[in-house]
C-alpha cells in the first residue's frame, strides 16, 4: 500500500517520537508498503528503501524545535498541513498515518479524501501541556482535550505505545481499533567495535569507579534534580554520566552540580551520536531512569532492559506499567532512596535483575512481534473499523 505519514517533529533526531517514527517507517517498508513522509524542514535524512521525505517550508527565524509543545511547532504545523494537503491532491494514498498533533490533520484529510486514518498516539496532548509547563489556560487545554477525544473517536485505527495510553484511549475510541505497540525497537548492533569499547573504558572506567548512566532529554519531568541530589548520598567511587540535553539545560545542571560539590563525579556530556549510546550502556554498572512526572513509559527503558545492565527506576506508574521487581530495582522518588537503589544495583541484587531483564526481553521484544503489531494496526485501518463521520 501507499501510505502518507505526517510527522510534526524534526526527522530524524535521536529522541523519543522521531525514533518511534523511524522504526514505524522501517516496519512499514519491510512489510512491503511505501511511505511518503511529510515532516518538518529540520532533521537528518534517513535512507530507507520505500521511504520518500517531503519537508514543509522553513520560516527564516526557525533554528530548531525543542521537545514538547511550543509556539514554533504551532507555526510549523500550519505549513505542514498545507504540505500534506498538497500530497493528498497529488498522490493516490491507501492510508493516512499521523503522529502527535498531526492527528487533527488526519481527521480532516481522511474525511475529505475518503482515506482511512491511522493515528499513532505517543502521548496525551493534554498531559504534555502539564509535563512541559506549556500553558494552564483553560481554553487552550480544553481545546486540546476536545481535539484529542475527536481524533480518538474518528480515527479508523489507533496505535498506543504503553498501557496507560491504552487505558486512557479505550473508553473513548473502543478497544476494537486500538493496537498497543511498545517502542522496543532499536538500532543497537549485535556486536560492538572492541577497539572503540576499550577506548570508552579507558576514558571512564578508572580504578574502582562505579559508572551510573542516564540517557535522554533533560526536561524537568525527567527527574534530573532528583538524580543529581542522590549522589550526595553515594560514595565517591560512584560516577554519573548524563547523556543528552540542550546547551541551556546542561548549563543549568552544571550549576546545581557545582553548588553540591559534585564536580568531578557527575559528567554532563550533552547530546551524543546514536552510534555511541551502546558503548556508554556497555561500560555502565547501573542505568537510571529517575522520572518524576507523566504516565508514558520512557523510551530509554527498552534499550536499558536489552543491555543486560541493572536498571534503577522510580516506583511510579510511568515505569511500573512495564517494569517489575524481577527486572528492575524500583525506588521511591526521593534522593536517599534513589541512592540506596543505585548501591543495591551495583551489587548482587543488580546481577539478579539484569538476568531477569535479559530473559524478559528475549521473550517479549522481537522484530517479528513488532512487525506483526504494525501490520495489525494497518489491517484495522484498511478494514475501516470505527468511523470517521
pLDDT tens-place string over residues 235-254: 999 999 999 988 888 998 99
Q: Please check whether residues 47 and 160 belong to one and the same domain.
A: yes
Quick check: is 259 in a domain?
A: yes
Q: Please check whether residues 24 and 169 belong to one and the same domain.
A: yes
Q: Please check whether residues 319 and 306 belong to one and the same domain.
A: yes
The CA–CA distances, whole Å, from 383 to 88, 118, 156, 324 equal 20, 11, 8, 36
- Total structural domains within the chain: 2
pLDDT of residue 134: 56
**Percentage with pLDDT > 90 across the chain:** 79
Nearest to 215, CA basis, from 342, 317, 324, 301: 301
pLDDT of residue 143: 81
What are 265-292's pLDDT values in tens digits? 999 999 898 899 999 999 999 999 999 9
Q: Please check whether residues 293 and 315 belong to one and the same domain.
A: yes
Integer Rg of the chain from CA: 21
pLDDT band for position 387 (cuts 50, 70, 90): very low
Q: Please check whether residues 98 and 136 belong to one and the same domain.
A: yes
**Percentage with pLDDT > 70 across the chain:** 96
CA 23, CA 20: separation in Å to the nearest integer? 5
Q: What is the mean pLDDT of the chain?
A: 92
Q: Please check whether residues 87 and 166 belong to one and the same domain.
A: yes
Q: Please check whether residues 166 and 198 belong to one and the same domain.
A: no
pLDDT band for position 386 (cuts 50, 70, 90): very low
pTM reported for the whole predicted model: 0.87
Nearest to 97, CA basis, from 168, 185, 28, 177: 28
Query: Which has the higher per-residue pLDDT, 66 or 290?
Result: 290
Q: Which of 23-37, 63-77, 149-163, 235-249 has the lowest mean pLDDT?
A: 63-77
pLDDT of residue 254: 92
pLDDT band for position 211 (cuts 50, 70, 90): very high
Quick check: is 389 in a domain?
A: no
What are 87-114's pLDDT values in tens digits? 999 979 999 999 999 999 999 999 999 9
Determine the structural domain holding residue 267 and report its residue range: 194-364
Peptide bond into 12 cis (omega under 30): yes
Q: Please check whether residues 68 and 139 belong to one and the same domain.
A: yes
CB 93, CB 84: distance < 8 Å = no
Q: At what angle do helices 335-345 and 348-364 cross, to 10 degrees?
A: 80
Q: Please check whether residues 376 and 359 belong to one and the same domain.
A: no
What are 327-385's pLDDT values in tens digits? 999 999 999 999 999 999 999 999 999 999 999 999 999 999 999 999 999 999 999 74
* CATH code where residue 204 lies: 3.40.50.2000
CB 76, CB 56: distance < 8 Å = yes
> What are the two backbone dihedrals, phi and then psi, of residue 5, each rounded to the nearest 5 degrees?
-105, 130
> What are the two backbone dihedrals, phi and then psi, of residue 267, each rounded to the nearest 5 degrees?
-115, 110
Q: Please check whether residues 160 and 223 belong to one and the same domain.
A: no
Quick check: is 247 in a domain?
A: yes
What are 107-140's pLDDT values in tens digits? 999 999 999 999 999 988 777 666 555 556 677 7
Quick check: is 50 in a domain?
A: yes
Q: Please check whether residues 204 and 160 belong to one and the same domain.
A: no
pLDDT of residue 130: 60
Amino acid at each position: 500500500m501507499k501510505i502518507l505519514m505526517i510527522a510534526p517533529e524534526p526527522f530524524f533526531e535521536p529522541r523519543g517520537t522521531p525514533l518511534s517514527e523511524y522504526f514505524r517507517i522501517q516496519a512499514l517498508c519491510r512489510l512491503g508498503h511505501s511511505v511518503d513522509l511529510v515532516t518538518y524542514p529540520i532533521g537528518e535524512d534517513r535512507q530507507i528503501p520505500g521511504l520518500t521525505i517531503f519537508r514543509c517550508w522553513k520560516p527564516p527565524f526557525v533554528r530548531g524545535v525543542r521537545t514538547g509543545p511550543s509556539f514554533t511547532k504551532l507555526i510549523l504545523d500550519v505549513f505542514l498541513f498545507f504540505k500534506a494537503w498538497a500530497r493528498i491532491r497529488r498522490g493516490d494514498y491507501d492510508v493516512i498515518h499521523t503522529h502527535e498533533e498531526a492527528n487533527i490533520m488526519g481527521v480532516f484529510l481522511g474525511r475529505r479524501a475518503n482515506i482511512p486514518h491511522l493515528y499513532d498516539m505517543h502521548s496525551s496532548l493534554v498531559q504534555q501541556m502539564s509535563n512541559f509547563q506549556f500553558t494552564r489556560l483553560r481554553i487552550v487545554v480544553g481545546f486540546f482535550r476536545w481535539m484529542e477525544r475527536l481524533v480518538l473517536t474518528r480515527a479508523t485505527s489507533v496505535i498506543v505505545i504503553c498501557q496507560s495510553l491504552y487505558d486512557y484511549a479505550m473508553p473513548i475510541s473502543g478497544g476494537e481499533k486500538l493496537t498497543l505497540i511498545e517502542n522496543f525497537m532499536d538500532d543497537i548492533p549485535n556486536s560492538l567495535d572492541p577497539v572503540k569499547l576499550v577506548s570508552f573504558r579507558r576514558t571512564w572506567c578508572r580504578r574502582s569507579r562505579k559508572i551510573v548512566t542516564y540517557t535522554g532529554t533533560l526536561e524537568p519531568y525527567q527527574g534530573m534534580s532528583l538524580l543529581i541530589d542522590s549522589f550526595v548520598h553515594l560514595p565517591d567511587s560512584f560516577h554519573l554520566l548524563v547523556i543528552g540535553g540542550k546547551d541551556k539545560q546542561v548549563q543549568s545542571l552544571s550549576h546545581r552540580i557545582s553548588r553540591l560539590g559534585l564536580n568531578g563525579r557527575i559528567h554532563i556530556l550533552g547530546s551524543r551520536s546514536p552510534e555511541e549510546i551502546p558503548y556508554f550502556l556497555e561500560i555502565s554498572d547501573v542505568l537510571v531512569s529517575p522520572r518524576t512526572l507523566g504516565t508514558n513509559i520512557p523510551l530509554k527503558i527498552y534499550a536499558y532492559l536489552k543491555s543486560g545492565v541493572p536498571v534503577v527506576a522510580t516506583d511510579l506508574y510511568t515505569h511500573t506499567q512495564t517494569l517489575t521487581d524481577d527486572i528492575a530495582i524500583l525506588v521511591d522518588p526521593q534522593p536517599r532512596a534513589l541512592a540506596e537503589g543505585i548501591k543495591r544495583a551495583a551489587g548482587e541484587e543488580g546481577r539478579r535483575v539484569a538476568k531477569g531483564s535479559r530473559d524478559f526481553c528475549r521473550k517479549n521484544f522481537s522484530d517479528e512481534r513488532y512487525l506483526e503489531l504494525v501490520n495489525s494496526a494497518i489491517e484495522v485501518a484498511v478494514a475501516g473499523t470505527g468511523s470517521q463521520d
